[in-house]
Amino acid sequence: MTTSVTIPTGGELGATASAIPVARVRTRTRWSRRFRPRRVVLTVLAFAIAIAWVFPVYWMLNSSLLPNRTLQSFIPTFLPIGGSLDNYENVLDGGSFFSALGISLSVTLIAVFCCLLFAFLAAVAISRFRFKGRKAFVLAVLIVQMLPAEGLFIAQYKMVSSVGLLNSVIGVSIIYTAAVVPFTVWMLRGFVAGIPADLEEAAMVDGLSRTQAFMRITFPLLAPGLVASGVFAFLQAWNEFTVALVLLPAEQMHTLPLWLRGFIQASATRETDWGQVMAASTLVAVPVIVFFLIVQGRMTSGLVSGAVKG
Amino acid sequence: MTRILADDVATATPAPRASAPARRRLSVPHLLLIPAILILLVGMGYPLVWQIITSTQDFGIQQQFGKPADFVGLQNYITLATDPTMWQVVGRSLLFCFVTAALTLVVGLLLAMLMTAVGRTARLTLQISLLLAWAMPVVAAMTVWIWLFDRRRGVVNYLLDMIPGVDMNRFSWLSNPLTFFIVASIIVIWMSVPFVAFSVYAGLTQVSDEVLEAAQLDGANGAKRLRYIIMPMIRPVIMIVLLLQLIWDLRVFTQITMLQDAGSKASEFDLLGTYIYKLGAGAQDFGMASAVSIFVLALTLAISWFYVRSLLKEDEQS
């Protein structure tokens, strides 16, 4: 999947407020005093780029609040003055949103649960043990993580349909779990390895068995790692489009991304109600944005950790 | 740090069960791996093997209805290699991938350097704005961009039309392949630049001020400091970010599909992903679709090999 990364697919993600790398603000005063005009230009440029970059997100919110009549005008309305939540009401009234939400939730929750469980066990194995075949497994995980959905979805379609799981939550969940497990294993491996085995050792000296030591000492310390990995897996599965498109052709089985795409598809044949489309997009985007901000920093460092180690 | 566990588990558990040697080989870590390996075999392994086999078969619409597929060896690959449409799609995909990845990298680098050059407020504003763009789900981002580039009431045409001498009123971006891919590229760049900018910025903050000051005292001007000190230090980050970008820009199925929904589905608008989809889901030619898929997988693996290798090294160090 975008999993790839696929999920770095699309996909793509990670941590807390610390996310925004707290920059070194040690300005070289002498330097800045000498080149004052240059700094002003750069600051203005930074604000201009910030506005341009966030504009599509703003435009989504703005359009979602405006009535279709206003949007039909050839002169865009840049502020949602006189706006209302009518578009949201209309979108929610159809009921198709809640159906898609239900499908998305079931697929995602199953995938996240299985993924976390399987990946946790595997991460413990590769970071706490040295064994025959370990390297082969790590290599397999890293390679599978790179495989694009585009290169496998025909085969996955054939497999899932041959066992009668087309248009079923189970079929998609299996594929999602498999697609997200590799990155989750990799991410959790880092967390498990970050907890010193000495702690367990000490507990074992005090009389706990190895399993007890792991469950009572290491496991609680892993909670933040499990949350971060879980959120990551959630985002991957929640935003996934390609596999869902192939495995869930029936409209009543559409996940939220497919449901949202339906609005654009319909626009080919009839006039698009952009207010509603933008309200629908906002409904899909807001929970994702919130989750994303939670894990963002970890995402950056996770993907390039090999390189930035200072 | 995994000192105590580094020794083989077999020795740690003095297995009294001497009866079955095969059983003893299945130690704790192997058991822990079983669920992950099973799900990977089912979700990825089996489809991959099926695909490799099918790519050597004549698997068309008749086979969908139960006719046994004939083994045709490399015939599908030969057909592809001699098909001008396939070459156009491959060429277009690679061109799109390289151009988009390169532009993303350049813009991301410039934004990262801008972040280091401005004050706290400006930097935070820029970072928050990039974060919001990064967080947008792909499908939602696509609907917004399609609306922005709308022929008649899109803001882009409206703003461009205000420039004196430019007539962009009702300009249809999505009906010409060139402008179609320019729009696609802009959208992909918009989505991917935040990751590049944050990664490079993180790398830049690792470059120590002391070294830069020393260089300044030795007479290195800004350009020289950038070229001889900053660039070599952040080179590893840039390489990895570029690799990931190349891989991600090969898999732009969602973006292209949605742009085709709003524009045209003609074959001049296809990249590899949509091409495979049309071969498989549309023409039901699974043999050919599998062959193209294998090609895409091989291409991805070739590009990602360096990335995988660097991650493996990291694993060995831990």
Is the pLDDT at B20 greater than 60, yes or no? no
Distance in angstroms (rounded) separating the CA atoms of residues B100 and B186: 8
- Residue pairs between chains A and B whose CB atoms are closer than 8 Å: 387
- Whole-number average pLDDT of chain B: 86
Disruptive mutation site among B120, B144, B285 for chain A (greatest number of A CBs within 10 Å): B144
The mean-pLDDT minimum among A97-111, A131-145, B2-16, B46-60 falls in: B2-16
* Stated length of chain A: 310
CA distance B286 to chain A (A): 7
Domain carrying residue B219:
93-283+297-317
Q: What is the pLDDT of residue A123?
A: 93
Cβ <8 Å between B136 and A246: no
For chain B, how many structural domains are there in total? 1
Taking only the tens place, the pLDDT of each residue in A129-143 is 888 889 999 999 988
For residue A8, the model assigns a pLDDT of: 33
Tens digit of each residue's pLDDT (9 = 90 or more) over B189-215: 999 999 999 999 988 888 888 888 888
- A128·B5 Cβ contact <8 A: yes
More confident residue, B298 or B318: B298
Reported as a pLDDT band with limits 50, 70 and 90, residue B151 is confident
What mean pLDDT is predicted for residues B119-147?
93
- The verdict on residue B123 lying in a domain is yes
The separation between CA A138 and the C-alpha centre of its own chain, rounded to angstroms, equals: 23
Of B27, B50, B140, Cβ closest to residue A281: B140
pLDDT in tens, B235-288: 888 988 998 899 889 989 999 999 999 888 888 999 999 999 999 888 888 899
Instruction: Name the closest residue on chain A to residue B170, using Cα atoms.
Output: A74
A61-70, A248-257, A301-310, B10-19, range with the lowest pLDDT: B10-19
Q: Which residue of chain A is at minimal alpha-carbon distance from B199? A: A300
Share of chain B above pLDDT 70, in %: 92
The most confident of the ranges A89-103, A268-282, B4-18, B21-35 is A89-103
Mutate to test the interface with A, among B57, B134, B245 (most CBs of A within 10 A): B134
Chain B residue numbers with beta carbons less than 8 Å from the beta carbon of A141 are: 40
- Which of A113, A144, A152, A290 to substitute to test the interface with B, most B CBs within 10 Å? A152
pLDDT at A157 over 80: yes
Closest CA to A114 of B29, B272, B145, B36: B36
Q: Do A154 and B280 touch (CB under 8 A)?
A: yes
ipTM value for the complex:
0.85
Judging contacts by C-beta atoms under 8 Å, the chain B residues touching residue A130 are 2, 5-8
Nearest to B147 among A129, A198, A277 (CB): A277
Q: Which residues of A touch B151 (CB under 8 A)?
A: none
Pairwise CA distance, residues B111 & A281, whole Å? 28
Answer for the pair B255, B188: CB distance below 8 angstroms, yes or no.
yes
Contact: B44, A158; criterion CB under 8 Å: no
Instruction: Give, in order, the Cα–Cα distances in Å from B61 to each of A165, B47, B85, B284.
Output: 21, 19, 21, 5
Please list every residue in chain A whose beta carbon sits closer than 8 Å to the beta carbon of residue B205. 21, 23-24
> Two tokens at B253?
């199925």
Residue A196 has pLDDT above 50, yes or no: yes
pLDDT at residue B209, rounded to an integer: 82
The confidence score (pLDDT) of residue A257 equals 95
> In this complex, do B205 and A24 lie within 8 Å of one another by their Cβ atoms?
yes
Say if B171 falls within a structural domain: yes
Task: Tell me the pLDDT band of A17, cut-offs 50, 70 and 90.
Answer: very low
Q: How many CB atoms lie within 10 A of CB A220?
A: 9
Task: Provide the 10 A C-beta neighbour count for residue B167.
Answer: 10
Which residue of chain A is at minimal alpha-carbon distance from B304? A146
Across the interface, of A28, A130, A299, the residue whose CB is closest to B8 is A130
Q: For A54, which of B44, B132, B202 is closest by C-beta distance?
A: B132
Contacts of B6 in chain A (CB under 8 A): 130
Which residue in A261, A10, A260, A285 sits closest to A149, CA to CA?
A10
Distance between B258 CA and the closest CA of chain A, angstroms = 7
Q: Say which of A23, A245, A277 has its CB closest to residue B123.
A: A23
A72: closest chain B residue by CA? B153
- Quickly state the pLDDT bin for A303 (edges 50, 70, 90): low
Residue B101 lies in a domain: yes
Three-state DSSP at A272 gives coil
Residue A23 predicted with pLDDT over 60: no
Nearest-Å Rg of the Cα atoms of chain B is 26
A43, A182, A197 member nearest B118 (Cβ): A43
Tell me the shortest Cα–Cα distance from B111 to chain A, in angstroms: 8
Instruction: Give B71-126 pLDDT, tens digit per residue.
Output: 888 999 999 999 999 999 999 999 999 999 999 999 999 999 999 989 899 999 99
Q: What is the pLDDT of residue B240?
A: 86
Among the residues of A129-208, which ranges form H helices?
A: 134-146, 153-162, 169-194, 197-205
Q: Helix axis angle, B46-54 relative to A153-162, nearest 10°?
A: 110
Distance from CA of B267 to the nearest CA of A (A): 17
CA distance to partner chain B, nearest, from residue A300 (Å)? 6
Share of chain A above pLDDT 70, in %: 83
Whether the predicted pLDDT of A26 surpasses 90: no
Taking CA atoms, B309 is separated from A39, A139, A187, B312, in Å, by: 41, 9, 17, 5
Q: Residue A108: pLDDT above 90?
A: yes
When pLDDT is averaged across residues B129-152 and rounded to a whole number, the result is 93
Residue in A42, A59, A125 closest to B148 by CB: A59
pLDDT score at A284: 92
Instruction: Kindly report the CATH number assigned to the domain that includes residue B205.
Output: 1.10.3720.10
Average pLDDT value for residue range B32-39:
94
Average pLDDT over residues A43-67: 95
Q: Are A32 and A40 in contact (CB under 8 A)?
A: no
Closest CB to A264 among B201, B248, B261: B261
State residue B4's pLDDT score.
Answer: 37
Contact A130 B1 (CB under 8 A): no
Identify the structural domains of chain A with CATH numbers, from first to last.
94-305 (1.10.3720.10)
